[in-house]
Amino acid sequence: MLPLLRCVPRVLGTAVAGIRAAAPSLPLLQPASRPCARPFGLLSVRAGSVQLPGLLRPWGPCGCGCGCGGLHTEGDKAFVEFLSDEIKEEKKIQKYKSLPKMSGGWELEVNGTEAKLVQKVAGERVTVTFNINNSIPPAYDGEEGPSEGQKVEEQEPELTSTPNFVVEVVKDGSNKALVLDCHFPEDEIGQEEEDQSDIFSIKEVSFQSTGDSDWKDTNYTLSTDSLDWGLYDHLMDFLADRGVDNTFADELVELSTALEHQEYITFLEDLKGFVKSQ
């Protein structure tokens, strides 16, 4: 869905020029053996590497002579230029300019990185909550890197946000909520088999008081690791009857991925403003 342009620096710009000019005798930096899920540019000089004179060394307060009292460096300038290009590219590949809507009558509430889907069904209130932070699985997890001569873009999958999500079901007039903690197992993500297996699973189930803002650890929590399969299947059917099924899970991944990408672009813009600010 989102090409992994974040994993490969698109424009090294003046940072490369500055390095070549400042240290023409230094050997070229070797590429990492495997790309990470989201580096911010791999900007020519990594943490802990030799700092080249004149590039990352600050000029001192207001070295540019503007009298603002701020700190300015050539590295900051290169960083801002890189972020400008990165933001342009991310906006170019952004699939949704606004968040996609969920089918089935779900109402969406977004608060920063947290999203809440709410639906009322025949005397029940069903709420699904998820957070997009740390929701993108690592691009490589024990897998071999790209083969020689093969481009990274040709081998890596698209970035997809698969967050854990919590389903709360409250019946009208009740002071208890049935809470089901769900997740996307890694071996089920992207599965294309025709056996209609569930693409998400339930990890834990508990009852919580509707009057408490935080869940109590003293309330009994049932782990599904050793749960009878008959009971587990009934719990999955219980969710499906309330609209939380494979179709819902697919749309949730789509929504979460769009929200994560939106927040990523906002982060880049904030980072650019922070580095550029005087």
Radius of gyration of the chain, Cα coordinates, nearest whole angstrom: 24
- For residues 185 and 150, the model is more confident at 185
Answer whether residue 84 shows pLDDT above 80: yes
- For residues 147 and 271, the model is more confident at 271
Q: Show Cβ contacts of residue 171 under 8 Å, excluding neighbours closer than 6 positions.
A: 123, 124
Answer whether residue 192 shows pLDDT above 50: no
Q: Which pLDDT belongs to residue 251?
A: 97
Say how far apart CA 21 and CA 222 lie, in whole Å. Answer: 63
Q: What is the mean pLDDT of residues 180-192?
A: 74
18 SS3 class? helix
Q: Of all residues in the chain, what percent carry a pLDDT higher than 90?
A: 53
Say how far apart CA 112 and CA 152 lie, in whole Å. Answer: 32
Q: Which pLDDT belongs to residue 200?
A: 97
The pLDDT tens digits for 61-83 are: 555 555 555 667 889 999 999 99
Say how far apart CA 160 and CA 193 lie, in whole Å. Answer: 19
Say how far apart CA 73 and CA 211 lie, in whole Å. Answer: 53
Q: Are strands 124-131 and 221-223 parallel, antiparallel or unpaired?
A: unpaired
- For residues 36 and 197, the model is more confident at 197
Q: To which residue do tokens 């789509």 refer?
A: 254
Q: Both tokens of residue 265?
A: 């672009």
Q: Which pLDDT belongs to residue 197?
A: 85
Q: Show Cβ contacts of residue 196 under 8 Å, excluding neighbours closer than 6 positions.
A: 246
Q: Is the pTM of this model over 0.85?
A: no
Reduce the secondary structure of 233-248 to three states and give it as a string. HHHHHHHHHCCCCHHH
Query: Nearest CA to 203 among 187, 222, 182?
Result: 182
- For residues 213 and 80, the model is more confident at 80
**Cβ atoms of residues 213 and 191 within 8 Å:** no
Say how far apart CA 55 and CA 62 lie, in whole Å. Answer: 16
**How high does pLDDT run on average in the chain?**
77
Answer whether residue 19 shows pLDDT above 70: no
Phi and psi at residue 266, to the nearest 5°: -60, -40
Answer whether residue 9 shows pLDDT above 50: no
22 SS3 class? helix
The pLDDT tens digits for 27-56 are: 444 444 444 455 444 333 334 444 444 444
The pLDDT tens digits for 138-163 are: 865 555 555 555 554 455 567 899 99
The pLDDT tens digits for 95-117 are: 998 999 999 999 999 999 999 99
